[in-house]
Structure 1
Amino acid sequence: MGFNTPVSAIFLAVNLLFFAFVTSSSAQSVPTPSPSPTCSINNLQVKGLCAKFLLPGLLNITVTVPPTSPCCSLISGLANIEAAACLCTSLKLPPPITLNINATAPVNSVLRGCGKNSPPNFTCVV
């Protein structure tokens, strides 16, 4: 049995080509993560109109939010997740200061008081 160099070279080239096509065709695209929700309204407005309902909740004081309050009017046109993001963002302090306080309950309380649903798996840490 002899070793034929041109035939071996063609065989090797075909195999390399075959494996290159197989490897490149089976690549799966990685799904891009969904962007985190953002607030489309002015953060200062949210702070000014909703803070009196959010801040007591951080101290475990229950405050009832009337659905006709200016805070509810401000977030009424937003989707639940966007309203939650706006309320959470309004509680955050400037970047060098982090408190690491879970503010999910007060945000959810305001959402419920305004007739909105709490988004599933939503957490707000300020």
Structure 2
Amino acid sequence: MQGPGGIQVKRVTVVDGDTIRARGQSASIRLVGFNTPETYNPVCEAGLALGKQATARLKELLRNASSIDLEIVPCACRPGTQGTEDCNYGRQCGKLSVDGRDVGRTLISEGLAAPFRCGTTACPPTPRPWCK
């Protein structure tokens, strides 16, 4: 199932638990609706371990998928900054589904991610419950 503007992709490379690269897209893609711990410059040690697990799980979901659907969506950035370093570090934003299920929902349900919803032009502080 694809949403409006969705594309079916065959080749996806996982950067970390909430960032991918997809063949045919020029920039990396920040997956929206959830946050996983950083694996590069982690905020805390617990985050590093969980971030590695989230990254491995996303790779597993993609490896075992029959279908992978990607929908590019607007990032929550100030007007005029979309596609620049001032907006999401130059990344695009997207929603990724594997076999019809949003990967963010899967990672959240498995305790590997936290819900993270942004407004249209800004995001709240990034949730990091694993660093308590």
Instruction: Select the structure that is richer in strand.
Output: 2
Higher relative contact order (CA 8 A, sep 6+): 2
With normalisation by structure 2, the TM-score equals 0.21
What TM-score do the two structures reach when normalised by structure 1? Answer: 0.22
Bigger share in helix: 1
